[in-house]
């Protein structure tokens, strides 16, 4: 699959051209170019310090690129960060839920932050509770939920305002494999509704679930394709092996 095949602007959620971020002499993100299709599950892989976080920060409009272009949801990250923020969702590995708020209060808080209308908020809260099977947990304090449930709740809240793209930064840390599988089912359901999922992870088995993956080593893209094609190209059994092959010459640890 060739990334330049998606030329139609309307089909593209994220497009970068030579995106670069330097801190002094250190180049955290080095001239990366890629496209992410609408409704695609796009995996962003790399060791710690490979530049994943810096790249995600630029795409979310938190950090301005040193050079290059990034268009997210049709807006330029360098000049239209405010528009981007309205059209994206974000979930971090810390889940960012408030323990001392009830399940529905957490949902309402974030819905309120995104300026949603009251009627839509009520509708969305019920919809999410049903989808997660949380009907009886509406008034439960988040601190009493098991971690797998918190994870699903955090994800659902990150898309409560039905954004065009959701960024998941290492979303499955500290969760057992069964809960992780359930979580990926939720991601698939979301992508099917047309929401683009941009996910970073260092679990290589998880990368197999993505439509396409982009591997980052020392701030540079070293591979970008579907998991199957990558395995074929490098004649490896799994993505972990592919990554080991590519990351062998890394300078940063």
Partner 1 sequence: MIQKKYSPFLSFVRKEFFHIFRDRWTSIILLIMPILMIILFGFAITTEVKNAKIAIFDPSQDAATHAIVDKLSTSEYFTIETYVYSQNEMDNLFRKRNIGLIVVFSEHFYENMMHGGDAKIQLIADGSDPNYAYTLTQYASALLGSYQQENISHNFNPPFQIETTIKMLYNPTLKGAYNTVPGVLGMVLMLICAMMTSISIAREKEFGNMEVLLVSPLKPITIILSKTVPYIVLSLINFTSIMLLAVFALKVPIVGNILLIALISLIFIFLSLALGLLISTIVKTQIVAMLISGVVLMFPVILLSGMIFPVESMGVFFQYLAKVLPANWYIAAIRKVMIQGLGISSVSKELIVLISMAVLLIAISIKKFKVRIE
Footprint on this chain of partner 1 (rule: CB under 8 A) = 60-64, 82, 85-86, 88, 90-101, 105, 108-119, 121, 158, 167, 169
Question: Strand order of the sheet with strand 67-72?
Answer: 26-37, 12-23, 67-72, 75-76
Minimum Å gap between C-beta 229 and partner 1 is 32
Q: Is 63 or 190 the residue whose CB approaches partner 1 more closely? A: 63
Taking the complex as a whole, the smallest distance from the CB of residue 235 to partner 1 amounts, in Å, to: 39
Tell me which H or E stretch contains 179: helix 177-192
Q: Is 133 exposed, middle or buried (0-12, 13-18, 19+ CB in 10 A)?
A: exposed
Decide whether 95 or 243 has the Cβ nearer to partner 1. 95
CA 98 to chain centre: 21
Query: Running DSSP on this structure, what letter comes out for residue 210?
Result: S
Q: How far is the CB of 98 from partner 1 (least distance, A)?
A: 7
Nearer to partner 1, 82 or 135 (CB): 82
β pairing state of 212-217 and 196-201: unpaired
Rounded least distance, CB 183 to partner 1, Å: 17
Closer residue to partner 1 in complex, CB, 93/211 = 93
Name the residue nearer to partner 1 (CB basis): 163 or 227.
163
Backbone dihedral angles phi then psi of residue 117, each to the nearest 5 degrees = -80, 150
Tokens of 55: 């790249």
**Residue 92 beta carbon to partner 1: minimum distance, rounded to whole angstroms:** 5
Question: Minimal distance in Å, beta carbon 170 to partner 1?
Answer: 11
Number of CB atoms found within 10 A of residue 7's CB: 8
Task: Closer to partner 1 by CB, 37 or 108: give it.
Answer: 108
What span, in angstroms and rounded, lies between the C-alpha atoms of 182 and 47?
25
Token digits for 77? 């990250």
Q: What is the radius of gyration, based on Cα positions, of the chain?
A: 18
């Amino acid at each position: 699959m060739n990334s330049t095949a998606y030329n139609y602007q309307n089909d593209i959620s994220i497009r970068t051209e030579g995106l670069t971020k330097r801190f002094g002499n250190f180049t955290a993100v080095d001239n990366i170019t890629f496209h992410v299709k609408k409704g695609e599950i796009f995996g962003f892989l790399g060791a710690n310090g490979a530049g994943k976080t810096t790249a995600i920060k630029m795409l979310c409009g938190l950090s301005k690129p040193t050079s290059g272009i990034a268009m997210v949801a049709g807006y330029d990250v360098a000049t239209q960060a405010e528009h981007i923020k309205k059209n994206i969702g974000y979930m971090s590995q810390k889940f960012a839920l408030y323990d001392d708020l009830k399940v529905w209060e957490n949902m309402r808080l974030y819905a309120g932050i995104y300026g949603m209308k009251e009627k839509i908020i009520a509708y969305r809260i019920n919809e999410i509770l049903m989808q997660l099977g949380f009907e009886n947990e509406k008034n439960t304090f988040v601190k009493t939920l098991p971690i797998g449930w918190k994870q699903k709740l955090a994800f659902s809240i990150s898309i409560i305002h039905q954004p065009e793209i959701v960024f998941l930064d290492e979303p499955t840390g500290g969760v057992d494999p069964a809960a992780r599988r359930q979580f990926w089912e939720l991601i698939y359901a979301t992508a099917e509704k047309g929401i683009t999922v941009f996910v970073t992870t260092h679990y290589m088995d998880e990368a197999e679930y993505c439509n396409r993956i982009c591997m980052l080593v020392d701030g540079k893209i070293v591979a970008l394709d579907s998991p199957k094609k990558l395995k074929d190209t490098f004649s490896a059994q799994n993505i972990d092996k592919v990554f080991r092959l590519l990351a062998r010459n890394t300078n940063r640890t």
